[in-house]
Structure 1
Amino acid sequence: MKKQKDVSYVKIAAIGSGFFALMLVWTFYNAYMPLILGDYIESRAVRGAIMGLDNLLAVILIPVIGTWSDRIDTRIGNRLPFIVAGMPVAAIFFILIPYGAAVTLWVLLIIDVIFLLAMTVYRAPVIALMPDHTPSEKRSTANGVINLMGGIGALAALFGLSAVYGIDRAYPFIIAGLLLLLAFLILYFTVDRNPPYADTSNEEFSETQPPSTFFKGIKSLKKPEFRGQLFILIAIFLYFIGYSGIEAQFTVYGVEYLNMDESSAGFTLGFFSLAFVIFAVPAGLLGSKLGKAPLMLTGLILLPLIFTAVPSLPGLQTFFPNLNEVYVLQGVLFTGGIAWAFVNVQAYPLVADLGGKRKIGFFTGLYYLFSMASSIIAPGLLGLLMDIFSPPFLFYGAAVTFLVAFYFLRKGALIVKNIST
């Protein structure tokens, strides 16, 4: 049995560098890939559908890899082999995206698929490193630190890389790719090969192949005793539809509806991430004191109120001619980022606790299955609402998903609480 030791937040921050690079890349990709696709495709729904199809591969592989990383045992541990295989390849092909876009749509899509495949190889294992190094009662706080690092990455993407994008489209991809390589080196030389809170014993598993382990686990969610866990995962799926849709389509809304330039649209979205960074650690502390589910429910009530206000902002200039619409929009998005911190900082620790420490990788995989499955349909679905009705329906559609997610999370949390008591 491994000897447990105190949490090292220096090490947690080092692990967070992987999340920093991941969020830097994903945030910039989700904000600007729809605009790059716009060079070839006019329809917002079609662009969104392509973004969603890209994530199909991730949905299939990430849960299996998460479970596989619970089982594998190598001289460099169970998570690092996947990180070694994925991060460098993802960095190289991310750098190639703008160059592929300059050739043809098909070259761009081939590079994109390879990039996404490499990202799926390391995503679940790099996130599972945090609970591997942290006891259950400290995971909300540690996840606050992790999300702080991720939020800084998102800020760097939307404030820093957006400005560089205005100079040359290729520059931000090169910078982000190099930072992803740097994060890989930090992780490789920092994380424990045998972390104190991980259990890679195979005694819990009767299957010999990771895929069979995962899909058998999926079937167990149909059992009545897992009804609460299933409802919580459904809630995560629903609210990520709203979040992923806004993340992927906001720059399109800003450029094509508000007539903002591409760099300004990304910069404005950055205020959402700025609030998330500021409130990530406080949200983690609040979750430890007040409970993960109650704080998530609070955020899911606030988000619809905030986002349904966005479409009304252009009309305010009728009554306030000197009002700067962009500044007000940035302020509203900042408020939304606070509410999102209440939700997202708690979500992964809540799911990680559902299966105990022996199945952290499995439930990490489930978390990404349900959250990334949203990414398959969210950009296309909300883009379709924008095409059929008008661009402001991006925010109305997202608000509905948050409200329905509130219902499922509340119901699931009550069931799980009753079971545990």
Structure 2
Amino acid sequence: MDNLVPTVTVATARARLNLRAAMLVALAVFAQESVWNFYDAQVPASIAQYTSSAALIGLLMGVDNALGIVLQPLVGHLSDRTRTRFGRRVPYMVVGAIIAAVFFMLIPFAGSFGALIACIFAFAIVANSFKAVTESLTPDFQVPGRRSLANGIAKIATSLTIIVSALISLLVVDESLELAFAIPAVMMVCAMLIVGFTLHETRSPGYQRAVAQRGGEGEPEWTFRRVVGELVRDADRSRVFLLLAIFATAGSWAALRSQLTPYAMEVLDLSRGEAGSLTLPAGLAFIVVALPIAFLSDRIGRRLMVRIGLVVFIAGALVAFSVPNLPVTITGVIIASVGYAAFSINGIVLMWNLAPSAAVAGAYTGMYALASALGASLGPALIGLMVDATSWRLLFLHAAILAVVALVLFLLVRSENHPAQTAEAAQDAATAALAAEAKGAVA
């Protein structure tokens, strides 16, 4: 078998995408993100029925990010160590979706401020618990060389949820708020059940590798302490710089998204409704470029693609900064969105591929979520302080500066595949090749 490893290593890099698994994972991501997008769009209005404090509304809407920082790495690691006849991720997804849907549908029925907060907290706790678990299915099913393409499909599904949420808000909310909350909740449960019963997670290379490692003699268990310790003690600091780069990139993008509306009202003199629509062209641009970027990433490498993407993002921000009028701003935001797409598709894939084993994909998904959530929480505040010290006119310039910091950090990421995981993929492919050869000989 040793003689097969070099050949199989090349074969794994060129292996075909598991399209069926990629589409089912995209369905699960679409379902859970539909709920989150509707949550972000409508829950602030529900809170506003009880308070006029924008600060309190913002604080309560930040609960999900705060909980995600704690829950997603821990539950992701817990799913790495789970073994059931349904798999190690699917039980969390299906059970979590059902419980989260109940709390989500109760939000419009809350008859007091306390009841509303209780529903929000309960939903955020449960929904955050399986959010990273769902994304971890991609590295479980896909070889390292095809994860960008698979994640690109999932990101298109995520982008489509913006449209779904907008349509529910437009067509249903004013007629029946209760029905509007029920629709995405029911969609999520139905989709998770379909995925749970048709994905066959136990057949995935990631699950089989995890089972084999747990059953191996003399191999230490991947405890959370060992996962973090291995990352911190590694002489190659690529993963540390990667997490810092994820933080900076997510912060820059979140700052633009969250502060684009007040910028447009202050600088471009648009109405609230007109200002709020500026992200739609960028969302459509993201959908258009997602698959081409994913295909190209698998060919030229994810580090290079992310670096190119950040250069494009910075260029877009500078275009929007150059002339403060509506056409130039829209053009700049579209360019920045295309650049951000390169990071959005490949950032988490770099984390997956740099994991020391496919068995810890859940923990690494959680660490990506941790860095991203911290960036999304602190980035807008940092850029906001810079705007307060200068003016709204400089918003895009400040975002470009933070993106330059992210680019420098990405330049310090020196590798994009962990040798141990590459060896695992080669060994798995060699085992499968020998099994197929033996089966053919018997036939």
Same fold (TM over 0.5): yes
Match of 1:247 in 2: 257
Gaps in structure 2 of 5+ consecutive residues: 1-11, 423-443
Match of 1:322 in 2: none
CA displacement at 1:164 relative to structure 2: 3.8
- Call closer, same or farther: CA 1:218–1:8 in 2, change over 3 Å: closer
CA distance in 2, matches of 1:164, 1:260: 22
Q: Does 1:8 align with 2:18?
A: yes
Q: Is the 8 A contact 1:49 1:376 kept in 2?
A: no
Q: Counterpart of 1:163 in structure 2: which amino acid? A: L
3-state secondary structure, aligned to 2:23? helix
CA displacement at 1:97 relative to structure 2: 3.7
Match of 2:379 in 1: 378
Residue of 253, 260, 267 corresponding to 2:271: 260
Residue of 56, 64, 75 corresponding to 2:85: 75
Q: Is the 8 A contact 1:54 1:376 kept in 2?
A: no
Q: Counterpart of 1:154 in structure 2: which amino acid? A: I
Deviations 1:347-404 (A, max 9, x none): 1211111013232222112111211222332344445555665555554443232111
State the structure with bigger RCO (CA 8 A, min sep 6), 1 or 2: 1
Residue of 303, 315, 325 corresponding to 1:293: 303
Q: Is the 8 A contact 1:20 1:153 kept in 2?
A: yes
Match of 1:273 in 2: 283
Gaps in structure 1 of 5+ consecutive residues: 317-324
Match of 2:193 in 1: 185
CA displacement at 1:73 relative to structure 2: 0.7
Q: Is the 8 A contact 1:53 1:376 kept in 2?
A: no
- Larger C-alpha radius of gyration, 1 or 2? 2
Match of 2:366 in 1: 365
Deviations 1:195-221 (A, max 9, x none): 3321223257745xx8xx223322333
Q: Is the 8 A contact 1:70 1:360 kept in 2?
A: yes
Match of 2:427 in 1: none
Q: Does 1:60 align with 2:70?
A: yes
- Call closer, same or farther: CA 1:418–1:92 in 2, change over 3 Å: closer
**Taking structure 2 as the reference length, what is the TM-score of the superposition?**
0.78
- Call closer, same or farther: CA 1:299–1:110 in 2, change over 3 Å: same
Instruction: State the Cα RMSD in Å.
Output: 3.3
Match of 2:408 in 1: 407
Residue of 121, 133, 156 corresponding to 1:125: 133
Residue of 238, 241, 244 corresponding to 2:248: 238
Structure 1 stretch displaced more, 304-313 or 238-247: 304-313
CA distance in 2, matches of 1:148, 1:190: 21
- Call closer, same or farther: CA 1:417–1:349 in 2, change over 3 Å: closer
Match of 1:163 in 2: 170
**Taking structure 1 as the reference length, what is the TM-score of the superposition?**
0.82
CA distance in 2, matches of 1:307, 1:166: 34
- Call closer, same or farther: CA 1:54–1:42 in 2, change over 3 Å: same
CA distance in 2, matches of 1:18, 1:246: 28
Q: Is the 8 A contact 1:31 1:266 kept in 2?
A: no
- Call closer, same or farther: CA 1:383–1:185 in 2, change over 3 Å: farther
CA distance in 2, matches of 1:398, 1:367: 21
Percent identity over the alignment?
Answer: 26
CA distance in 2, matches of 1:194, 1:418: 24
CA displacement at 1:293 relative to structure 2: 0.7
